[in-house]
Structure 1
Amino acid sequence: MTAVDHQAFATGLASRRAGKPVVVPHVVGGQERFDGDLITREDPSKPSVTVSGCHDATEDLVRLAVDTSRAAQREWAQVPLPERIEHVRRAIDHVAGAVDDWALRVALEIGKTHGAARAEGLEVLDILRCYTEYAARPGAFEDERSADPTGFANDSVLRPYGVFGVITPFNFPIVQAAGPTVAALLAGNGVVVKTSHQGPWSGHGVLEMCAAMDLPVGLVNIVHGADEPGRALAASDVDGISFTGSVAVGRTIMRSFTDGPYARPVIAEMGGKNPVVVTDTADLEAAADGIVFSAFDLAGQKCSALSRVLVTPGAHDRLVELVAERARRVVVADPAAADAFAGPVVTTEALARFDRIVAASRDGGFTVHGGERVDGDGYFVRPAIVSSVPADHELSTTEHFLPFLTISRVPSFAEALRAANATPMGLTAGIYTGDLEEARTFLHGIEAGCVDVNVPGHATTGWWPGPQTFGGWKASGSTGTHTLGKWYWQQFARQQARKLPAELADLLAH
């Protein structure tokens, strides 16, 4: 990123902050709606500035959005896959031109720094390119027809479910809405997106992306609001849900979707308590670099973030020194600052929760490095590193979703691996070691969907469409299939095996 690029970004932030808040509408059937109470969103870097707003969608509006999408989906389901792919591809140019505007929205609503904010649009761009390329591969949507000795033709195809609800989190308000929306559309479904009320203007970008696809009117609808619209969407008669958020909420949705006359699919990514193992043979300088980046990027507010270090005795003391020293150099600032590495936490509630767990760490007699408030009006805090805390302590096993890292001394590599797996979650994990056998054992034994070994800049983060898929095991995911990869979009369809007389199959094919 050049200085000129960042100056334009900083100028854009100042201009937006000086202007009126953007209140985004619900859009159902192509019509803008403002049903429900107004919810405003402050800039977490400057809480006195209101940057956006939305209305808290009513249950009736959510049901209308689902019904409207279902009516349009009947037309969309008849569109052949190659044509659906072409419609989705039409959004590529739009997204390429929206990257910088979307970056401003995300920086203002969520507090992301320049590079992280731009990555929202860039990742959506790569999702569009990758998913459409995967869908266009031979056999991606149907098997070749085969004949059997009795004169029957056999094939197997993927058919859409109907309408998917997409419930999104605050931390990736565009990407986590765009990815499942693109996948669901390619599979032939309609979509109702429910954005996060902490990033409605950002999330609304997905509706703008879909408008560029020239889809049937009402196929994709968007509703905004806090928790109630999300509950209403999950309680509606949608045919499936894509959910990104907490384990507790995700499991509640999964249980409810097994009720009724039949189970419906829930494609959920539900967070993680992500460890890195550091052994006596590790390159500790590289380990410290990766740990600090993965723990404190986006102020620790992402599901892939590193939150606990399990280190063997010979490396412990030096590693704590190196991590604490690097953390002190982390620049926590307004995204307008050119050297900002991390921005604010997202809300006053997150700020208060951070203060509580840091205080609990000190009260527990553990060693705390950092953890102070940063002077100013925004929700800024110094990263907290807590050492001398046992690996099985609540501070080390609870997902805090904050710039809070525990470092625990463990007696051996085997015990570190055991502790790493001693959690119901299994999203990301990493190891730094100079021992080939330890690396091999870790890869075979770690219970996580995304794994790094000796990566200097990323201990547990760094996933991207195409090169590296992303998804969790155990309570971190519901399907075992990752986003960002070639099998993700196919989850939004169900398989149908077909057998019919060969001559009839030939007639139907024409």
Structure 2
Amino acid sequence: MTAVDQQAFAIGLAARRAGEPVVVPHVVGGRERFDGELITREDPSTPSVTVSGCHDAPDELVRLAVRTSRAAQREWEQVPLVKRIEQVRRGIDHVEAAVEEWAQRVALEIGKPYDAARAEATEVVEILRHYTEYAARPGAFEDERSADPSGCANDSVLRPYGVFGVITPFNYPIVQAAGPTIAALLAGNGVVVKTSHHGPWSGQAVYEMCAAMDLPTGLVNVVHGADEPGRALVASDVDGISFTGSVSVGRAIMRTFTDGPYARPVIAEMGGKNPVIVTDTADLEQAADGIVFSAFDLSGQKCSALSRVLVTPGAHDRLVELVAERIRAVVVADPSAADAFAGPLATAEALERFERLVAGSRAAGFTVHGGERLERDGYFARPAVVSSVPADHELSTTEHFLPFLTISKVDSFEEALQAANATPMGLTAGIYTGDLDEARAFLYRIEAGCVDVNVPGHATTGWWPGPQTFGGWKASGSTGTQTLGKWYWQQFARQQARKLPAELGHLLTY
């Protein structure tokens, strides 16, 4: 980020705030629609300003979106893979040109400072590049054709399911919609995107990206709204669902999708109660830096955020001091501020929940550092660090999705590892240690999909497309195959083995 970039960003936010709110349409079959009750979205940094709006999609419109996508998908699955890849890659130029404008949308709707808001677009570019590269590799969609002893021609290919619904969260309103949409399209599916009503303008960006790909009309449709359109999408005859959100909602979707005449796929990335272990041999300055960043980036409103520290006795007191010092220096400010590290909480409800959590921690007799509501317009609060909390206390084991961190003293590395795994969730985890045996044991025994060992600046976060795949074990994920990597997009297809007489082998095309 340069000073010029930041200044242009701040000017752009000011202009948007002074203008009229952007009310985005549903788009079904290429037609803009405004069915349903209007829902407005305030700027969480300046709640008196309405920045965007959408309409709460009626059930029938959601069902129409699925039917429309299904009709277009029959054409799309006949398009050869090499052509599908070419068309999806057209989205790269569009996204690269939209980076700064998309950053403004995310900053205004979600409250992300410049670098984090801009990353919504740059990560989508990397996903487009990586997924299309993976799909173009030999054997990505089919095994080499062969003949069996009877002389028949054989192959095994991946075929699309049909139509996938994509249900997205508020915290990454573009990336978490774009990733599964891109994967589903490469596999030959149609897509219905249901955006978050806290970020509909941001979510609409994914439809705009797809429009630049010159896809069949109606292949990708977008509907907006609160909870009901998501429920309608799950209740429809969609062939699969990609969901990012809470464990409770994700598991409910999975139960629904196992009912009926056959089970349908649910590709879910859900929550986490993410620990870092700090032992007596750790570099505590490095550990404190990583803890503060990973706990309070995006004000703790990310599923990968660090939310509990498990520290052995010799490191405990000094680590608490270092973390407390650092949170006093954290800049919580409007996204337009050049020095903003974190922005506001996303909603008034989140801020109220945070205040109740901090007050309850103090009432319970725990030591609280920070945790104050900041006296300014907007949903701003100083991050809270709560120490002297037992590792098995509810505060330490419940996902809060807030800038709220517990620090628990444990007797040993072994006890810390057991506490880290004593949760049904397993998304991210980290360790800071100077003991190679502890590091090795952590890598082999921790039950989490994304793990860090002595990573400067990142205790449990910092994943990017490519080898740094992202996803969870146990209740944090549904498939064991993670986003951002070479195996993710294949989940949007199902395998079919084909056998024909040799003279008909020419029919085996893909």
CA–CA separation in structure 1 for the residues paired with 2:499 and 2:474: 37
Aligned to 1:10: 10
- For residues 433-482 of structure 1, the C-alpha deviation after alignment (integer angstroms, 9 at most, x for no partner) is 00000000000100000000000110000000114100000000000000
Aligned to 1:159: 159
Q: 2:494 aligns to what SS in structure 1? A: strand
Shift of 1:509: 4.7
Q: Does 1:330 align with 2:330?
A: yes
CA–CA separation in structure 1 for the residues paired with 2:450 and 2:107: 27
Aligned to 1:265: 265
- For residues 356-405 of structure 1, the C-alpha deviation after alignment (integer angstroms, 9 at most, x for no partner) is 11011001100000000111111000000000000000000000000000
CA–CA separation in structure 1 for the residues paired with 2:213 and 2:481: 26
Q: 2:41 aligns to what SS in structure 1? A: strand
CA–CA separation in structure 2 for the residues paired with 1:269 and 1:509: 34
CA–CA separation in structure 1 for the residues paired with 2:29 and 2:372: 48
Q: 2:83 aligns to what SS in structure 1? A: helix
CA–CA separation in structure 1 for the residues paired with 2:353 and 2:509: 61
Q: 2:457 aligns to what SS in structure 1? A: coil
CA–CA separation in structure 2 for the residues paired with 1:500 and 1:83: 26
**Equivalent position amino acid for 1:134 in 2:** Y
**Equivalent position amino acid for 2:286 in 1:** A
CA–CA separation in structure 2 for the residues paired with 1:453 and 1:502: 54
Aligned to 2:84: 84
Q: 2:258 aligns to what SS in structure 1? A: coil
**Equivalent position amino acid for 2:55 in 1:** H
Aligned to 2:364: 364
Aligned to 1:470: 470
Shift of 1:508: 5.0
Query: Given that residues 395 and 406 in structure 2 are in contact (C-alpha distance below 8 angstroms), is that contact kept between their aligned partners in structure 1?
Result: yes
CA–CA separation in structure 2 for the residues paired with 1:170 and 1:77: 31
- For residues 287-310 of structure 1, the C-alpha deviation after alignment (integer angstroms, 9 at most, x for no partner) is 000000000000000000000000
Q: 2:361 aligns to what SS in structure 1? A: helix
Distance change >3 Å, CA 508–CA 248, structure 1 → 2: closer
Shift of 1:507: 5.3
CA–CA separation in structure 2 for the residues paired with 1:403 and 1:46: 19
Aligned to 2:116: 116
Shift of 1:506: 3.0
Unaligned runs of 5+ in 1: none
Superposition misfits of 4+ residues, deviation over 6 angstroms: none
Aligned to 1:486: 486
Matches within 5 A, 1:407-426: 407-426=407-426
- For residues 266-302 of structure 1, the C-alpha deviation after alignment (integer angstroms, 9 at most, x for no partner) is 0000110000000000000000000000000000000
Distance change >3 Å, CA 365–CA 32, structure 1 → 2: same
Q: Does 1:506 align with 2:503?
A: no
CA–CA separation in structure 2 for the residues paired with 1:507 and 1:155: 11
Query: Given that residues 194 and 223 in structure 2 are in contact (C-alpha distance below 8 angstroms), is that contact kept between their aligned partners in structure 1?
Result: yes
Matches within 5 A, 1:434-473: 434-473=434-473
Matches within 5 A, 1:201-350: 201-350=201-350
Aligned to 1:42: 42
Matches within 5 A, 1:54-93: 54-93=54-93
TM-score by structure 2 length? 0.99
Q: Does 1:20 align with 2:20?
A: yes
CA–CA separation in structure 2 for the residues paired with 1:502 and 1:121: 48
Distance change >3 Å, CA 270–CA 507, structure 1 → 2: closer
Aligned to 1:374: 374
**Equivalent position amino acid for 2:105 in 1:** R
**Equivalent position amino acid for 1:470 in 2:** F
Shift of 1:158: 0.2
Q: 1:257 aligns to what SS in structure 2? A: helix
CA–CA separation in structure 1 for the residues paired with 2:278 and 2:509: 59
CA–CA separation in structure 2 for the residues paired with 1:143 and 1:400: 45
- For residues 302-336 of structure 1, the C-alpha deviation after alignment (integer angstroms, 9 at most, x for no partner) is 00000000000000000000011011100000001
Shift of 1:149: 2.0
CA–CA separation in structure 1 for the residues paired with 2:250 and 2:7: 40
Aligned to 1:496: 496
**Equivalent position amino acid for 1:218 in 2:** G
TM-score by structure 1 length? 0.99
**Equivalent position amino acid for 1:339 in 2:** D
Shift of 1:503: 1.8
- Matched length: 510
Query: Given that residues 45 and 378 in structure 2 are in contact (C-alpha distance below 8 angstroms), is that contact kept between their aligned partners in structure 1?
Result: yes
Aligned to 1:176: 176
Shift of 1:343: 0.1
Unaligned runs of 5+ in 2: none
Q: Does 1:133 align with 2:133?
A: yes
Distance change >3 Å, CA 509–CA 10, structure 1 → 2: closer
CA–CA separation in structure 1 for the residues paired with 2:474 and 2:508: 44
CA–CA separation in structure 2 for the residues paired with 1:94 and 1:449: 32
Q: 2:378 aligns to what SS in structure 1? A: coil
CA–CA separation in structure 2 for the residues paired with 1:489 and 1:132: 10
Query: Given that residues 9 and 336 in structure 2 are in contact (C-alpha distance below 8 angstroms), is that contact kept between their aligned partners in structure 1?
Result: yes
- For residues 70-126 of structure 1, the C-alpha deviation after alignment (integer angstroms, 9 at most, x for no partner) is 000000010011000000001100000001000000000000000000000000000
Shift of 1:168: 0.1
**Equivalent position amino acid for 1:342 in 2:** A
Distance change >3 Å, CA 438–CA 201, structure 1 → 2: same
